[in-house]
Amino acid sequence: MVVVTLNHRLNIFGHIFLQGLGGGEFDDASNAGLLDCVQALTWLQENIAGFGGDPRRVTLFGQSGGAWKVAALMAMPAARGLFHRAIVESGAALRLDTPDVALERSDRVFDLLGVARTDVRRLQTVPVEAVLAASAAVWPGAKFNPVAGTVGQFRPIAGTRSLPTHPFDPTAPAISADVPLIIGSTLTEDAFFLGSDPAAQNLDLARLRDWVQRLIPGADAQDLVREYREANPEAPLDFILYLISSDHRYLRDTTLLAERKAIQGKAKVWSYLFQRLSPVAEGRWFAPHGAELPFVFDNLDRPEAIFTAGSPTPASRKLASEISGAWAAFARSGDPNHKGLAAWPPYDRTARQTMVFDETSRSFSDPRRAGRLRMLALTP
């Protein structure tokens, strides 16, 4: 098995919207970063056999922003047939930005750089530092997308020549219907993003409700906090905050994407939830964004594996063997089941079987049902 990584253009350099400018020459600028990925996948098809790989069994997988790209590539016509399985870790992209939002963003960049839209080629002469400064300046005023859950990032644009549709809204993309999928998230993803803010630590109920109201403006924060505390009566308040935010930003879309793929009925989808609690910093991160990565790659001994907190234990090594073995089995056969892991049934909208990766891993039916339903009720 060969593991390949790739570089591609990011942020404004990979996703500024320039449609209709320069005689149409820049129409694909909004998805240049994804097209870089397509070029890499094309190279794999032509060359990976020389490195011991199999061009007929290419598994595309990514985490966080990388997961968004995997979902987007599943809907991208140019990527069709270039990969044969997909894994989406902590980044279920149902929808992307649309041309109207992207146009407003790019107009602000032109204004900040003092470049006329009719002189689009001049952008290519602007120093990189100035472009990055303009990109950063655009973010605070960018529109919030309540469905996609992002604020102001330059990222792929749906409704364009290179990406005609949203990845998984309203349905799973037809062009990748035959591609099996693994998708999942960690229990408290947002501990990674919120936990470094001192204001999110040592909460009292009033501050917790204030946090929830700001994170989910349309929610009844008092009612939401009450429900989650009743379901987790022994949990500290920072855990409640991270769980609510993570259910809203990750669990909801992860389960919707899995459901839409399952409804399509062409290829199987497997769902997981990583809930092994990290011992780092006396456990205050719980199961944060990125916590599964050292287990996926089975590299617990590396110092970069920060959420494993030092020397691996027999239990953590077993978990790493289970997860890395599942990813490898999926790459080989399109099915993550292997002899070192409890049975992992595919996901469907009735049983909603989900592999819960923990010190003892096993499949549960709809393990976060209450949170899933609560967040679905808040969907715009």
Classify residue 105 by burial, with Cβ atoms within 10 Å: 0-12, 13-18, 19+: buried
Catalytic residue among 30, 64, 196, 245: 64
Report helix, strand or coil for 120. Answer: helix
Q: Which two tokens stand for residue 300?
A: 């617990």
Q: Which residues contact 166 (CB under 8 A, 6 or more apart)?
A: 75, 94, 95, 96, 158
Q: Are 34 and 163 in contact (CB under 8 A)?
A: yes
Kindly write down the DSSP assignment for every residue of 58-89, as one continuous string: -EEEEETHHHHHHHHHTT-GGGTTS-SEEEEE
| Degrees to nearest 5, angle at CA 97 with 170 and 73 | 70
Q: Residue 380 and residue 377: Cα distance in Å, rounded?
A: 8
Q: Are 256 and 168 spatial neighbours (Cβ–Cβ below 8 Å)? A: yes
Contact call for residues 187 and 274 (beta carbons, < 8 A): yes
In the residue annotation, 64 being an active-site residue is answered as yes
For the chain, how long is the longest CA-to-CA vector?
63
Amino acid letter at 284?
Answer: R
- Please identify every residue annotated as catalytic: 64
